[in-house]
Structure 1
Amino acid sequence: MKNFEKYKPYPPVDKKDRKWPSKVIEKAPIWCSVDLRDGNQALEIPMSLDEKLEFYNKLVEIGFKEIEVSFPAASDTEFGFVRKLIDDDLIPDDVNIQVLTQSRDEIIEKTFASIKGAKKAIVHLYNSTSVLQRDVVFNASKEEVTEIAVKGAKKFLKEMKKYPETEFTFEYSPESYTGTEMDYAIEICNAVIDVWHGHVDNKIIINLPSTVEMATANIYADQIEYCSERLHHREDVVLSLHAHNDRGTGVAATELALMAGADRVEGTLFGNGERTGNCDIMVVAMNMYSQGIDPKLDFTKMRELGDLFERLTRMEINPRHPYVGSLVFTAFSGSHQDAIRKGMAKREERKQKIWEVPYLPIDPKDVGGTYDPIVRINSQSGKGGVAFVLEQNYGLYLPKAFQRDFSKVTTAVSDKHHRDLAPEVIFDIFKKEYINNESPIKLIRYKETTKDEDKDVSVKAIIEYNGKEAEVNGSGNGIIDAFTHALENHFDVEMEVTDYREHSMEYGTNARAISYIQIEGKDHKMYYGAGVSSNITLSSFYAVVSVANKIVK
């Protein structure tokens, strides 16, 4: 790209004593969902009142204690939604609604009027402070911009007195904080803090938004730590984050900023919001969960939540979206599939409480998933993946050599049709390729005898070959060996058994057993077959016949 010279690098924060790089996140922050305001205003078709109410109820169910519900002055629908929550007593005692307002008297008045009668509420004041906004949009000096914020903060105190029934929390955001000189951002925040401090019972929220993500995540962390160390009355301030995702690192920026001293996170589910969206609160919470931290939010019905989100917002969740995407717990690669299969088996064997499975950072069942889609078979898959699907869905445990042979079969089918294979399709292919194959040879009945002198086993069997019955006889050191020799003698072929396994079936059992057999032919080629029956001898004979039908022409 040849136009890169039109852009300039973002200046780093001159901070030599940064502490956050050595810190870790140890507990969940205060979460504030802005889905119903910031997320809603970014929709092509904003949610209706009923849709917002359904979304709100889901946010409450998940466990959000702070929810930004509206910009009440924006429209009658937004104002009416706040009134419905209050008038219909839809706000639980432990939930605090939040409303947003610009620093203009008439808008502040309408915002306070919208929450009349609420038991408690967060009122969020903002004005733009960045160098670019001051120059291009407002043509205002720092002093003039600060006066806008201070005037709004003082108006809050006047309006608060009109509604003594409400317990207020005040929040201030220097919009475009990351485009503002750090010392000036601190100056304007402190000016607002000085107006409010001592006049409200609750802590003041200072929200530092990355309104447009402009730099790497570590710089946002530096900015948060720098500001946190310089705010007035820091012990009475809740330091809040509101990261956008223009560079695709909104989650990382939020996590590093929490390490840098922030107490609270504003964001949306699945990252909805203007342009590339907001920080995805669900991802931040689930990242904590994966580290053994209680996120204080309940995402155990993730797919159900994703469906609701898509229906109400008319947006689509990317199949690769962390934790909720339809493919995030799915492996197509053969090596990945094999590692997952072994990890799951080892975990079951060891009865592990700690989740440790290759390529799966969390247990899909924790978010309402199943193990069915973990491994999906296509032309890139290997033997481990095929084995996993049959084990998990049908209780079949194929020997390793058998797995390799079957993976070639499924790869060929997937490659031919250019699609992945569902578990039921894989099972159907397996049955057709290996189990109880009866053409051209079919076993009708058999009789077993033992010679006293050498203890060899003899078998007399009636088979059908191309529609005609015939008797076959053979002896061997076991019943499978004897039956194999009987078929060798009759058809003049070579069939040397090189491996035999059997186990009871766990799928549709009815006390059935499955036998797997590997036989080497005259051409030194390996052939594989399987048999299923409630009689273990019959299941082994059916497996031998299945192989014979591949050898006998």
Structure 2
Amino acid sequence: MANRVYFFDTTLRDGEQSPGATMNQQEKLRLAHQLEVLGVDIMEAGFPASSQGDFDSVRQIAEQAGDIQVAGLCRCMDGDIDRCWEAVKHARHPRIHTFLSTSPLHMKYKLRKDPEIVLQMIEAGVRRCASYTDNVEFSAEDASRSDRDFLCRVTELAIRSGATTINLPDTVGYAQPDEFADLIRYVIEHTPNADKAVFSVHCHNDLGLAVANTLAALRVGARQAEVTISGIGERAGNASLEEVAMALRVRQDYYGLEHGIQTEQLYPSCRLLSMTIGQPIPSNKAIVGANAFAHESGIHQDGMLKNRETYEIMTPQSVGRTSTNLVIGKHSGRNAVRNKFEELGYKLSEEQLQTVFEAVKNLADLKKTLHDDDLMALVQEEIYRIPDRFRLRHVSVQSSDAGGVPPTAAVLMDVDGIECSRAGFGVGPVDAIFNVIADMVGREPELEQYAINSITSGTDALGEVTVRIRENGHTAVGRGAHPDILVASARAYVNALNHLAKKEKEGERLHCQHAEQ
């Protein structure tokens, strides 16, 4: 049995289903590039049949990808499969990933089909996929709650029909490690043609066992791990890429397995995702959290001073937590800025470089030193945001703890290309800013979440604000960064309004398409 584990990353598909983790097309392309740098074997770029936007993103990712395999997800239906192939076919190594439910619960209530009909659908669907490519993955949805012998029939049939990868997912995070390992072992041992396919697992974290279940399955013969950066995904998320990768690397003596993940890129990848979706990395997050290599206990500190291995089983450098290089400032030239961003993994056009260069100069006037995280936040703010219907120009706030005049905000911004200005009051400075902006764009969204995170340390640190708003059944997340937290708040709110407007426009387009049909 081969000891190479293949990492299948689904951050761009399952991960994006995490509430508030929606990414625009440019952000997806940036993250796809980072997945290649990270050493991922297969990236699942999206679900092409779900929307035109997803189709376009998958197609662009496929066209720009290098040697990494690019997969698209599709239901076991002719239309989905055809659409998936159209999106991924220009990749150097395209993969079609199709799925169908196999548990009694799903077949009865979700599919409303008898097991024999499900088998016929699997055979027809996989054969259609195989007519396009020999790189076909079949997933038995809700495998962990499926009948074992029926799962063996499904697996044998899918392989015979052309599947080269078989995924047995714990779709609802129900399985326990020993139980799940026993299921994977049973299916491999009782499927006659099991040697003709790579077995994969896709584990959800509803009971906090996604990583444990993934590792248990790898020990008994699974050789593909389906994961996401920072474990983001549907409901409680997926198995965390960085945790699985480091468990296999640190405990290679126990697992005897190898992989191609460049572990020094783990923290940069998680930080990029965090900045992209506006969700800070929790301090106690394994591998990449701020406290992962922090030691406060006197006993621990004493041990560390004597020998790091007393309380550290891996080094910060091994996951990319190296000391920050403080070289970019107000006197840096264009070439220095270009080289710095290339070191950080960004490929900028001349127009993008000029935009970023000017933003670096402006930020350097406000901060003494620019950290790598500052620069990454700046690129997200200036380059990878969606095209703006609403664009903030300036904001000014007056606030005091003295009685009398309430907090006041004055805002200058472009609304549909027209420059507008207005002032107004609020309970606090942030409330005043949001009230004025909402009034200017003619909306009254409900603010569901407001969160502040410091990107770096120090009193001059960039503040990163995330807001989530809801209106007319649509939810949108906005992000903004600036040394002035009130300016960051205004940027985040405007960004959320742009996302909300885009979602409504897409909804109207889909409604018109359905009406025409």
| Normalised-by-shorter TM-score class | 0.5 to 0.7
Distance in 1 (CA, whole Å) between partners of 2:172 and 2:239 is 11
Contact conserved, 2:69 with 2:91, CA < 8 A, in 1? no
Contact conserved, 1:28 with 1:288, CA < 8 A, in 2? no
Match of residue 169 from structure 1: 135
Contact conserved, 1:115 with 1:121, CA < 8 A, in 2? yes
SS at match of 2:190: coil
Change in CA separation of 1:131 and 1:366 when aligned onto 2, cut-off 3 Å: same
Aligned counterpart for 2:155 among listed residues 165, 185, 189: 189
Q: CA deviation at 1:315?
A: 2.0
Whether 1:38 and 2:14 are equivalent positions in the alignment is yes
Contact conserved, 1:193 with 1:232, CA < 8 A, in 2? no
Q: Name the aligned partner's letter for residue 37 of structure 1.
A: R
Match of residue 107 from structure 2: 134
Aligned counterpart for 1:54 among listed residues 12, 21, 30: 30
Q: Deviations over 1:365-418 (max 9, x none)?
A: 22233599xxxxxxxxxxxxxxxxxxxxxxxxxxxxxxxxxxxxxxxxxxxxxx
Whether 1:319 and 2:283 are equivalent positions in the alignment is yes
Match of residue 245 from structure 2: 285
Distance in 2 (CA, whole Å) between partners of 1:368 and 1:169 is 33
Contact conserved, 1:27 with 1:294, CA < 8 A, in 2? yes
Aligned counterpart for 1:335 among listed residues 287, 299, 309: 299
> For residues 87-486 of structure 1, what are the structure 2 equivalents within 5 Å?
89-92=63-66, 94-158=67-131, 160=132, 168-196=134-162, 204-292=164-252, 295-344=259-308, 357-369=309-321
Change in CA separation of 1:331 and 1:241 when aligned onto 2, cut-off 3 Å: same
Change in CA separation of 1:27 and 1:358 when aligned onto 2, cut-off 3 Å: farther
SS at match of 1:117: coil
Q: CA deviation at 1:68?
A: 0.8
Distance in 1 (CA, whole Å) between partners of 2:259 and 2:85 is 32
Contact conserved, 1:120 with 1:168, CA < 8 A, in 2? no
Change in CA separation of 1:191 and 1:221 when aligned onto 2, cut-off 3 Å: same
Contact conserved, 2:71 with 2:88, CA < 8 A, in 1? no
Contact conserved, 2:32 with 2:61, CA < 8 A, in 1? no
Q: Name the aligned partner's letter for residue 80 of structure 1.
A: D
Q: CA deviation at 1:294?
A: 5.3
Distance in 2 (CA, whole Å) between partners of 1:73 and 1:335 is 56
Distance in 2 (CA, whole Å) between partners of 1:244 and 1:28 is 23
Change in CA separation of 1:51 and 1:371 when aligned onto 2, cut-off 3 Å: closer
Contact conserved, 2:70 with 2:88, CA < 8 A, in 1? no
TM-score w.r.t. length of structure 1? 0.55
- Is 123-132 or 49-58 further displaced after alignment? 123-132
The gaps in structure 1 that reach 5 residues or longer are: 1-24, 161-166, 198-203, 345-356, 373-422, 425-553
Distance in 1 (CA, whole Å) between partners of 2:2 and 2:110 is 41
Q: Deviations over 1:221-269 (max 9, x none)?
A: 0000001112232221111111111111111111111111111111111
Work out the percentage of aligned pairs sharing the same amino acid: 28
SS at match of 1:241: strand
CA RMSD of aligned residues (A): 2.3
SS at match of 1:168: coil
Change in CA separation of 1:314 and 1:231 when aligned onto 2, cut-off 3 Å: farther
Alignment length (residue pairs): 322
Q: CA deviation at 1:131?
A: 1.7
Q: CA deviation at 1:152?
A: 1.2
The gaps in structure 2 that reach 5 residues or longer are: 325-456, 459-517
Q: CA deviation at 1:85?
A: 3.0
**Normalized per residue, which structure has more helix?**
2
Q: Which has the larger Rg?
A: 1
Contact conserved, 1:34 with 1:67, CA < 8 A, in 2? yes
TM-score w.r.t. length of structure 2? 0.59
Contact conserved, 2:137 with 2:166, CA < 8 A, in 1? yes
